[in-house]
Amino acid sequence: MPSLPWLHGGDLVAQQLKAFGTEYVFTLTGGHISPLYDGLRFVDVPLIDFRHEQAAVHAADAYARVRRDVAVAAVTAGPGVTGAVTGVANAYYAESPVIVLGGRNPFITDGAGNLQEAPHLELMRPITKYCTAAYDCWRSRDVLHDAFATAQTPRLGPAFLDLPMDMQLTRVPLDAAPPVRTRPRRAVGGVDPDAMREVAARLGTAAQPVVLVGSGAYWARAEQSLHAFACGLKAPVFANGMARGILGAHHPFQVVSGRREALRGADVVLMLGVDFDFRLGFGQPGVIHPGAFVVQVDPDASRLGRNRDVDMGIASDIERFLTELVGLDSAYGRPTPPRWTANLLANDAARRERRAHGAGTPGTVHPVDFTTQVADFLDEDATVIGDGGDIVAMFASRHRPGGPGLWMDPGPFGCLGVGAPFAIGARLHRRDTQVAVIFGDGSFGFNAFEFESAIRQDLPFVGVIGNDGAWGEMRTFHADLFGEGDMSAQYLSQDPAYEQVVEALGGHGERVDRAEDIKPALERAFAAGVPAVVNVILDPTYRRENAAVSGKHVARSYGEGDPNAFKRP
C-alpha cells in the first residue's frame, strides 16, 4: 500500500474492511460512496459493479453463502439504499451475513432537503441484525467491528451501516488515526451431557426416526459430522434450504422426496437448524405423527419451539452438537438400515424414475424433459442456482447437488431475480467449475441486464430459461382459486428472443424447442467462455400441481372445505 500523507474517513473504513479479510465489494456507483471507493483503491480491494443495487446485494449474498463468510456491498444514498432493500431482506430471511454500507448526506444538513435524502436506518432496521450509522470517523472502525460481529453470530444475517459524507471526508493525520480492529471470532457453545445422552437413547430405540437438516447445519460447516452421524444412525435424512447438497449427491441415507409421508410416520424427529415455517406447515397438527418425539437443535434459543411445542429444545452450535453425538454412536448405531429407511429410499427412487419422461406439444419441450436433460448434463461439482417458480421446483426435485453450497435459491423470502447476481458472486469464488442458473422466463426479466455486468467483468456462467410464456406458479394458483375466467397479468409471451438480448450485450445465446437439442446447446454455451443463455421453449399447456403455494388449499381453508368456493361465473 502506498504511503499516504493523511487518511480520510473512507480510508478508515476501507482499511478496516481489508483487515477483516474482505476480498471484494459489490456495488453500484454513486457520489455518496466515492470516498469509500477512493479508500478501497489504496488497499487493493476490487469493486464488482452492477446495474442495480438489488443485484449488488444479491451477489454479495451469494458470495457470503459459497464462502460461508461475511461479504460486503456498498450503495449510494436515497434510491441506492431503497434499491438495496429487497436484496437485504432476502439475505435476512436466508440468514446470509452481508454487510451493506450506505452512503448518506452529511449529518450536519440532515433533514434540510438534500438530494437523495431518505430514512435509511428506519428502512433497514426491520430487515437487519445490526443497523446504525458511523456518526464520526473516530468510531467508524468500532461500529464496523460490531457489524461484522453481529452478522456472523448465529443465526447469521445482514447488517447495515450508514456512512455520511461528512464522516467519509473528514481528514485525519496518520498518527492520530484510530487503530485497526482485529476480526471478531465466534464462540461455539457446548451441549449438556445429559441432554446428549437422552437424544442418543431416543434415537437408539426409535423404529422410524427422521432427520431434518436445514440451513443452520450448512452455516455451521457440519457436513463431516453429519455424514458420520447419518452413517451410524442409518435413518432417512432430508435436507432443505442451504443444506441441500450437504451430504453430496450419492449419500446412502439421503432422501429427497416423500418428506411429508415420512414425518407422518416418524416416531422420533431430529431437527438440525430447521424452522417450523411454511415449508413444514408451521408444525401444526397433521404435519408430524402426534406420538413422535421431536428434538429441535438450533444455535438461536429463541427459535426453539416456535409455532409448536417440541419435546426437547437444545440451543447449540450444530457442528458441536453432531460431533458430540457421534461420540455416543454406541447408543444409536445400527449394523444395517431399518426397513423404514429402505422403504423411503425405494419410494424416492421410484418417484425420480416416474418423472424422467414427458411429451411436449409439437415445437415445445415438456418440462420433465427439460429438467431431466439439464440435470443430467451438469457436472457433479457445478454450482446451480434456482431463480423461478414452477420450473425451479421441478428441477430441484430432479437435481442432486454434488456438495455443500452447490445449490442456491433465494430462500424463504422467495425473491425472484437472484439468478444472474448469484451467478456472478459464485463465479468469483469458483473460477474453474460450471456455474449455471435455472431461470423461469418471468424471473429472467428481473435482472437480465446483469448479464452485461458479467460480460464486462469476464465472469462467465450459463443461464437456462424454462420458457412457458407465463408466471406459471401464479397462473395455476389463481386459476385453482378463482377459475379461468380472468387470467389477466398471469401470462407473458414465448415470442421475445431473450437469447438475442444476451448476444447483443456481448454474450452467447441460443433458442431451443426440441428436447434432443438441449444438451448440444448447453455444450456450446459452456464452451463459449462468456456469459450465455439457452432459451428453452416449454409446453405452455403443462400445469404443475402446486404444493407450497396451492390455490386449492387456500380455497378449502377459507371456503369451509369447498375447493370451488371462490369460483364465480
Q: Which three cell numbers stand for residue 536?
A: 428453452
Q: Which three cell numbers stand for residue 461?
A: 456462467
- CA-to-CA distance for 98 and 157, rounded, in angstroms? 7
Q: Which residues contact 122 (CB under 8 A, 6 or more apart)?
A: none
- CA-to-CA distance for 370 and 360, rounded, in angstroms? 10
Judge whether 236 and 263 are in contact, CB under 8 Å: no
According to DSSP, the residues that pair with 293 across neighbouring strands are 268
pLDDT computed for residue 110 by the predictor: 81
Q: How far apart are the first and last CA of the chain?
A: 73
Q: How many CB atoms lie within 10 A of CB 64?
A: 28
SS3 164: strand
Residue type, 327: G
Judge whether 55 and 85 are in contact, CB under 8 Å: no
Q: CA angle 231-233-235, nearest 5°?
A: 95
Cell 431437527, residue located: 271
Judge whether 434 and 462 are in contact, CB under 8 Å: yes
- CA-to-CA distance for 512 and 536, rounded, in angstroms? 5
Q: Which three cell numbers stand for residue 523?
A: 455444450
* CA neighbor of 211 nearest in space, from 240, 245, 184: 240
- CA-to-CA distance for 292 and 347, rounded, in angstroms? 22
According to DSSP, residue 160 is labeled E
Helices (H) and strands (E) in the chain, counts: 23, 19
Q: Which three cell numbers stand for residue 316?
A: 447449540
According to DSSP, the residues that pair with 130 across neighbouring strands are 159
Question: At what angle are helices 9-19 and 34-41 packed, to 10 degrees?
Answer: 50
Class of residue 21 by CB neighbours under 10 A (exposed 0-12, middle 13-18, buried 19+): exposed
SS3 455: helix
Q: How many CB atoms lie within 10 A of CB 414?
A: 13
| pTM for the model | 0.94
- What are the DSSP calls for 406-430, one per residue? SEE---TT--TT-HHHHHHHHHHH-
Q: How many CB atoms lie within 10 A of CB 75?
A: 33
Judge whether 213 and 243 are in contact, CB under 8 Å: yes
- CA-to-CA distance for 327 and 290, rounded, in angstroms? 30
In this structure, the strands spanning 6-8 and 293-298 are: unpaired
pLDDT computed for residue 358 by the predictor: 62
Q: Which residues contact 61 (CB under 8 A, 6 or more apart)?
A: 71, 87, 90, 91, 94, 96, 98, 418, 421, 422, 425
- CA-to-CA distance for 378 and 370, rounded, in angstroms? 13
* CA neighbor of 555 nearest in space, from 485, 478, 473: 478
In this structure, the strands spanning 6-8 and 171-173 are: antiparallel
Cell 411436449, residue located: 360
- CA-to-CA distance for 501 and 375, rounded, in angstroms? 25
SS3 173: strand
Predicted confidence pLDDT, tens digits, the chain (569 residues): 567 789 999 999 999 999 999 999 999 999 999 999 999 999 999 999 999 999 999 999 999 999 999 999 999 999 999 999 999 999 999 999 999 999 998 878 888 788 788 899 999 999 999 999 999 999 999 999 999 999 999 999 999 999 999 999 999 999 899 999 999 877 666 788 899 999 999 999 999 999 999 999 999 999 999 999 999 999 999 999 999 999 999 999 999 999 999 999 999 999 999 999 988 989 899 999 999 999 999 999 999 999 999 999 999 999 999 999 999 999 999 999 989 999 999 998 888 777 656 666 888 999 999 999 999 999 999 999 999 999 999 999 899 999 999 999 999 999 999 999 999 999 999 999 999 999 999 999 999 999 999 999 999 999 999 999 999 898 999 999 999 888 899 999 999 999 999 999 999 999 999 999 999 999 999 999 999 999 999 999 988 877 667 888 888 889 989 989 999 87
Upper half-sphere CA count for residue 532 (Cβ side, 13 Å): 20
Judge whether 34 and 61 are in contact, CB under 8 Å: no
* CA neighbor of 279 nearest in space, from 437, 93, 151: 93
CA distances to 46, 145, 158, 419, 421 from 70, rounded to whole Å, are 16, 12, 9, 20, 17
Judge whether 366 and 538 are in contact, CB under 8 Å: yes
